Amino acid sequence: MDCIFCKIINNELPSCKIYEDEEFLAILDIMPINYGHTLIIPKAHFKHILDMPESYAENIYKIVKKLSQAIKEALKCDGLNIIQNVEKAGGQEVFHSHLHIIPRYLDDAFKLNLSKKRYENNNAMQIVAEKISQYL
């Protein structure tokens, strides 16, 4: 399979590793939003979180917490973004599931929430909540 993250996991391509266990690898993103921008990647190939078995989805958050604490302490950042981009519409470019931990500073220029909407009214909001709940 021609997957850049599988090649990194199999050591066919170089990477800057910061954490590894049986299930996951964490590496520095090659084009960081800020220095220390980290990717947590399951070693098995899944397209994104919706494709991952539940146990992986649970286990990944233990690693997220451990790495987030280490990044915050090491880099003295003011905050973090913990993000997974899902599918093209969600900004996903590498279709091997991964989660971003991005160190953030009060004075950095990166903005995630540039174009927020408002619900027409409370009823419109309630309808959306009920629609989602039906699938749980």
Catalytic center residues: 98
Contact window for Zn ion (CB under 5 A) among 13-21, 43-51, 73-81, 84-92: 43-51
Contact window for ligand 5GP (CB under 6 A) among 27-35, 51-59, 101-109, 114-122: 27-35
- How near is the Cβ of 112 to ligand 5GP at its closest, in Å? 13
Binding flag, residue 85, ligand 5GP (CB under 6 A): yes
Dihedral in degrees, nearest 10, Cα atoms 10, 11, 16, 18: 50
Residues 6+ apart with CB under 8 A from 64: 40, 82, 99, 101
CB of 64 closer than 8 Å to CB of 28: no
The DSSP secondary structure of 32-43, one letter per residue, reads -SSTT-EEEEES
CB of 39 closer than 8 Å to CB of 79: no
Contact window for ligand 5GP (CB under 6 A) among 18-26, 63-71, 91-99, 106-114: 91-99
75 to 104, contacts with Zn ion by CB under 5 A?
96
- How near is the Cβ of 94 to ligand 5GP at its closest, in Å? 4
- How near is the Cβ of 129 to ligand 5GP at its closest, in Å? 27
